[in-house]
Chain A
């Protein structure tokens, strides 16, 4: 009798300031009974206008600005940006510099994945695991602090190389720390196989293979749906072309929150392998070009290029256009969270309200990265949206 009643859909606004996720994001969820029938994700609450700010600053100032796009994957942003500048300027960093860049990159991936595993545990109400994971994460932050002097924004990259070298003493220390971390990650893996975790994560937020391909989701979200893509393997940058044997791409086919969590856990072991290989193979040599950065900056000519890296959350793309006068004409950043947030809609439809935090956390959203604005003409109330036809016409004109 109750099931035959016609329920009118109810719209529930969630956010932007809410206790589940620490960053401002707003959902407009339409529910019928407990079931979600429609989701509208609104971004733009932390839009800081970084791309337009970059156009008014010089290249070195922009290097520090792009680092502050995101506090979790800051090294990915600077690597991507310096790679683009080095390509335009024809500067070749030494192999030692590239290896050190890769080392920090993998440590950052470990820090980011452990961060997310903790958040996942928190969202399913498993606070002990949350505390344990974050305790393991502090080891990575200690290594960052000893290598670069900073816990979060490392400022490791500069044009033509890196800023800090690695001593033999540090190599030993990293090896010791890796052993300790491997032990705790194995323990975390065991706890994640627990029945309560499985019950809470399996079958929640399913994004099938075809939908994942259509929405172009990237990174662990795509790999959790069985899409085999990894920029480290497909378009190797930094020192990854020499490290191909030391890692494999982790794939899962069940396409739910559990699969995405598993991908991240096993990527941690891959990262440990990569770091060990780096420490073994670390070549000797200078870590930078030896020329002052200001001189290097003034020599970068006018030009444009695209640079891609595999950030902890997936593919990160930079389009950089320099003006030849130490500045930028255009900077375009496409962060991995933008395609991944689009995947939230098919994931959430059919789920229950209580699944929203788990599903949202399982794509590892980074709102600081993913903010865009829509220009609205206030008098007419029209939003300036460009459709595919117009975009193509504009592209042909230029």
Chain B
């Protein structure tokens, strides 16, 4: 397990899951991949399948419809894995807390390693969140 974890430090692959966010955090994640911030130079890449990913980026408070899909995607990410909750909704559920349709925040359902605050957080903050998650979880 330790060897598998250590092999993930150099180029962590990310999977992004929208569990009901307003698309604000999602476009900031994609903005982190585009030329201004360009995390691809660090070996990070957004992948299309959770089975290829090392780090799971969660945005949004978990809605009732997305709950079973969210758990399933989390289970599909191979061990060892890191989970980063991005944005105010994913860290605490605000401002949707109190709604009948919200089952989250995500840390009620799965273990979350790093919380990135902000509505939405800047791309720099997202990059730092991923770096911290990789260092603490795989380092």
Contacts and interface: CB of A to CB of B under 8 A. Distances in A.
A373 B60 CA distance: 18
A44 B30 contact: no
B21 A71 contact: yes
Interface residues of B, number: 39
Contact of B31 (A16, A17, A46, A134): A134
Contacts of B47: 19
B135 interface: no
A71 B25 contact: yes
B66 A368 contact: no
A11 interface: no
A237 B65 CA distance: 37
Interface in B94-121: 95-96, 98-102, 119-120
Nearest to B31: A134
Interface stretch (B3-11, B12-20, B78-86, B126-134): B12-20
Chain A interface residue count: which class?
35 or more
Interface in A329-348: none
Contacts, number: 117
Contacts of B18: 22-24, 46
A69 interface: yes
Contacts of B98: 53, 56
B99 A71 contact: no
A130 B99 CA distance: 37
Contacts of B64: 47
Given A49-B100, A131-B35, A151-B28, A68 B95 contact: yes
A204 interface: no
Contacts of B119: 68, 153
A71 B24 contact: yes
B122 interface: yes
**Which of the listed residues A46, A50, A153, A366 has the most CB atoms from chain B within 10 Å of its own CB?**
A46
B126 to A, nearest CB: 12
Contact of A152 (B24, B34, B35, B99): B24
Interface of A is mostly: loop
A135 interface: yes
A71 B73 contact: no
Interface string A70-87: 111010000000000000
B27 A46 contact: no
B96 A366 contact: no
A144 to B, nearest CB: 12
Nearest to A44: B65
A141 B31 CA distance: 11
B120 A48 contact: no
A49 B99 contact: yes
A138 B36 contact: yes
Interface in A209-258: none
A115 interface: yes
A151 B122 contact: yes
Contacts of B54: none
Contacts of A68: 22, 24, 95-96, 119
Interface in B42-84: 47-49, 60-61, 63-66, 69, 73
Contacts of B34: 118, 130-131, 134-135, 138
A64 interface: yes
Given A70-B22, A71-B26, A48 B35 contact: no
B66 A69 contact: no
Contacts of B16: 22
A65 interface: yes
A52 interface: yes
B69 A74 contact: no
B35 A71 contact: no
A45 interface: yes
27 contacts: A19-B47, A22-B16, A22-B18, A24-B20, A44-B65, A45-B66, A46-B18, A46-B20, A47-B63, A48-B63, A48-B96, A52-B99, A53-B96, A56-B98, A68-B22, A68-B24, A69-B22, A71-B21, A71-B25, A71-B120, A115-B27, A130-B34, A131-B34, A151-B120, A152-B24, A153-B119, A373-B101
Given A22-B26, A152-B24, A366-B23, 7 more contacts: A22-B23, A45-B20, A46-B18, A69-B22, A70-B23, A153-B119, A153-B120
Interface of A: 16-19, 22-24, 44-50, 52-53, 56, 61, 64-65, 68-72, 74, 115, 118, 130-131, 134-135, 138, 141, 151-153, 366-368, 373
The 7 A-B residue pairs with the shortest CB-CB distance in the complex, in nearest-first order: A71-B24, A19-B48, A134-B34, A49-B101, A49-B99, A46-B20, A71-B23
